[in-house]
Amino acid sequence: MKNNKSDLLYLQEMDIQSWELLHASRLTGYLTETFDLPDSCRLLLVSPEKPEGDIVFMFEKVLRSMGLDLSKTMHIFPEQVVSLGSHQLSWIWFSGCEKSGILDINTLLSPLLKEIEGNNLERRNLWQQICSYEK
């Protein structure tokens, strides 16, 4: 879609405020724009669900066990990993999605955060992954 005034007006008439191309790699010649993370971001949560409500408290508890707090984390959706530019990450956590993209970073894999809450087996699996990076 060309980005001109008539196209934008058409989108506004349909009450579409923003849109995102999910499979840009399928288009010939399309270049994905990258985004950089702030230097303060140490853990990136990649998940189809952004932590909200009570799940944030559980997420904070895990972060504290890693010596981090919410101010040093960010969330992105799995399809955004390919657009990730420069970063100073120490950790990347794939929650409820497959691992992709970034190498040479401490990597955690888990079900969705809401599936870890109250599930001792999943909490233990997550803790074992975190401990495996301690030296």
Instruction: Report whether pLDDT(18) > 70.
Output: no
pLDDT at position 31 is 61
Q: What is the pLDDT of residues 98-133, one digit of tens each?
A: 998 777 899 999 999 999 988 999 999 999 999 999
| Whole-angstrom distance, CA of residue 68 vs CA of residue 112 | 20
pLDDT at position 32 is 67
Instruction: Report whether pLDDT(3) > 60.
Output: no
Structure tokens at 41: 């971001």
| Whole-angstrom distance, CA of residue 92 vs CA of residue 73 | 10
Sheet holding 106-110, edge to edge: 73-76, 43-46, 91-95, 106-110
pLDDT confidence of 4, banded at 50, 70, 90?
low
Which one is predicted more confidently, 66 or 135? 66
CATH of 43-131, one of 3.30.1330.50, 3.20.20.10, 3.40.50.10220, 3.40.50.150: 3.40.50.10220
pLDDT confidence of 21, banded at 50, 70, 90?
low
Question: Are 126 and 62 in contact, with CB atoms under 8 Å apart?
Answer: yes
Question: Are 90 and 106 in contact, with CB atoms under 8 Å apart?
Answer: yes
| Whole-angstrom distance, CA of residue 47 vs CA of residue 57 | 17
Ordered by start, the domain boundaries in the chain are 43-131
Which residue reads 């707090």 in tokens?
Answer: 69
- Average pLDDT of the chain is 86
pLDDT at position 5 is 65
pLDDT at position 2 is 46
